[in-house]
Amino acid sequence: MGSSPSSRAAGQARPYLSIYFVNIFVRDQERSLRFYVDQLGFDLAFDASYQAGHRWVAVAPPDGSTVLLLIQPKRDSAEYKLIGRATQVVLVTEDVTATFRDWRERGVRFGFTPRLRRVKYEPSRPVPQAEGGTPAWGGVFTRFEDIDGNSFTLVSIDEMSRTIQAKRRAAAEKLEAERYAAQELEIAKQVQARLFPQTKPACGTLDYAGICIQARQVGGDYYDFLDLGHQRLGLVVGDIAGKGMAAALLMANLQANLRSQYAAALDQPQLLLRSVNQLFYENTVDSAYATLFFAEYDGRTERLRYVNCGHLPALLLRSDDTFERLGSTCTVLGLFKEWDCALGENDFRAGDTLVLYTDGVTEAFNDADEEFGEKRLMEAIRRHRHRSSEDLLTAIVEDVRQFSPREQYDDITLIVAKCQPS
């Protein structure tokens, strides 16, 4: 007893099943091929030779998936006697009359002009057939022959024509919706691009730069530069959980929160980030959160204060070629209403280089499924440390792309800050 769809194991995919081709026996494949392609406007589906020079030729109508396999049997075979028969193949078109006129002008032989045929369908009875095998569909039909006398029925069925028209309307509406969505996405991309720093606050002893290369048109990575006054500069890198438009909206929310609050808490990074967490928590869904690294550089004291909210460790390359990792000082932003953070502090003197980054850098994979990783990032920073901040950014990104030439999976965001002599 065959298994029914309902008896399949949960999650098991249904095997693919489709009608592929219908055999049409012809006397000369090349001549028939020209008829179907040139006169009927069919497409060549495939044309291949096999076994001792035999040829497989198949054609298909412009719409639909079933193909006609044009077979040239030997003269002494039983199949040769099937040439010139009624094929029982029915071709469907929206407008039989228009197709009839077009094909007749191309020399196609029709048995009669298109006729109207309507037969009432009763579910309790078999599909009705008129006398002499006349199709019993509601619509218009005619018959034609190919150059070997093989006959086909050409019909337009009222219900099918309505279905085709509905599908065309749906396709047009889908295309319009896709155009609209693409336009909206382009606008969102332009808006988000304006959220990144458009200018860099002056900071005499710091050569710094930032970059965000998004994997999609919009993304959830964020970087910023904040003028804190009195030769102090804020460096910010954040990463929103998720991707695409949802992450981009949350990124805009985080940027707005940070920008609206930092002026009121210039000397107290902890107070600033508590306010940002509260706003982010109140204005987003429960599952929304962000990792963030906030660094405050003071050019007067050559000190760096920072808060790492569950973000990847910043890398501080000292002038003596050693690294320090500035790890987490608190948990992520946005998940908890009651939230606080600790403040880290380090010297940041001439010859030191600070690199903030997101996981799109270290989690870039190569073809062997190896991560670029923190170690390779450190090696890249050391190798290019004598370049300017802009050139160092470019060099790191190039190293990541050479390591991971496949399609970019995640946003790549970096800030490089190099402390200069006074």
| Distance in angstroms (rounded) separating the CA atoms of residues 284 and 194 | 22
Sign of CA dihedral 17, 18, 19, 20: negative
Contact between 96 and 156 under an 8 Å Cβ cutoff? The reply is yes
Which pLDDT value is given to residue 265? 62
- Give the DSSP H or E segment for 190: helix 158-195
Which pLDDT value is given to residue 305? 95
| Distance in angstroms (rounded) separating the CA atoms of residues 358 and 365 | 14
Do 204 and 147 lie in a common domain? Answer: no
Do 61 and 196 lie in a common domain? Answer: no
Domain boundary among 59, 83, 107: 83
Q: What is the CATH number of the domain that holds 43?
A: 3.10.180.10
- Total domains in the fold of the chain: 3
Provide the residue range defining the domain that includes 146.
Answer: 87-121+130-171
Which pLDDT value is given to residue 138? 66
Do 254 and 378 lie in a common domain? Answer: yes
* % of the chain residues with pLDDT over 70: 90
Contact between 115 and 154 under an 8 Å Cβ cutoff? The reply is no
| Residue 178 maps to a domain | no
| Residue 10 maps to a domain | no
Other CB atoms within 10 Å distance of the CB of residue 393: 20
Strand partners, 23: 69
- In terms of DSSP bridges, do strands 109-110 and 43-50 run parallel, antiparallel, or are they unpaired? unpaired
Report the alpha-carbon angle 150-153-154, nearest 5.
125
- Confidence (pTM): 0.63
Q: What is the CATH number of the domain that holds 254?
A: 3.60.40.10
| Residue 78 maps to a domain | yes
Q: Read off the tokens for 131.
A: 């006398």
Contact between 228 and 204 under an 8 Å Cβ cutoff? The reply is no
Do 261 and 391 lie in a common domain? Answer: yes
Which pLDDT value is given to residue 12? 64
φ and ψ of 364, to 5 deg: -70, 130
| Residue 2 maps to a domain | no
Do 58 and 136 lie in a common domain? Answer: no
Do 92 and 78 lie in a common domain? Answer: no
The 8-class DSSP code of residue 243 comes to: -
| Residue 181 maps to a domain | no
Which pLDDT value is given to residue 344? 95
Contact between 16 and 64 under an 8 Å Cβ cutoff? The reply is no
| Distance in angstroms (rounded) separating the CA atoms of residues 203 and 206 | 6
The 8-class DSSP code of residue 356 comes to: E
Do 166 and 282 lie in a common domain? Answer: no
Contact between 388 and 187 under an 8 Å Cβ cutoff? The reply is no
Pinpoint the alpha helices (H) of 8-75: 29-34
Residue tagged 């200069």 (tokens):
420
Contact between 176 and 155 under an 8 Å Cβ cutoff? The reply is no
The stretches in the chain having pLDDT less than 50 are: 1-8, 119-123, 125-135
| Distance in angstroms (rounded) separating the CA atoms of residues 71 and 54 | 10
| Residue 5 maps to a domain | no
Do 283 and 390 lie in a common domain? Answer: yes
Q: Read off the tokens for 418.
A: 């190099």
| Residue 34 maps to a domain | yes
| Distance in angstroms (rounded) separating the CA atoms of residues 306 and 324 | 13
pLDDT tens digits, one per residue of 211-256: 998 887 777 899 999 998 888 999 999 999 877 788 888 888 888 8
| Residue 176 maps to a domain | no
Nearest to 200 by CA among 173, 169, 234, 248: 234
Do 54 and 163 lie in a common domain? Answer: no
Report the alpha-carbon angle 407-409-412, nearest 5.
105
Strand partners, 36: none
Do 230 and 214 lie in a common domain? Answer: yes
| Distance in angstroms (rounded) separating the CA atoms of residues 140 and 134 | 11
Do 93 and 227 lie in a common domain? Answer: no
Other CB atoms within 10 Å distance of the CB of residue 371: 16
| Distance in angstroms (rounded) separating the CA atoms of residues 168 and 146 | 30
Do 96 and 221 lie in a common domain? Answer: no
pLDDT tens digits, one per residue of 269-287: 899 999 999 999 998 888 8
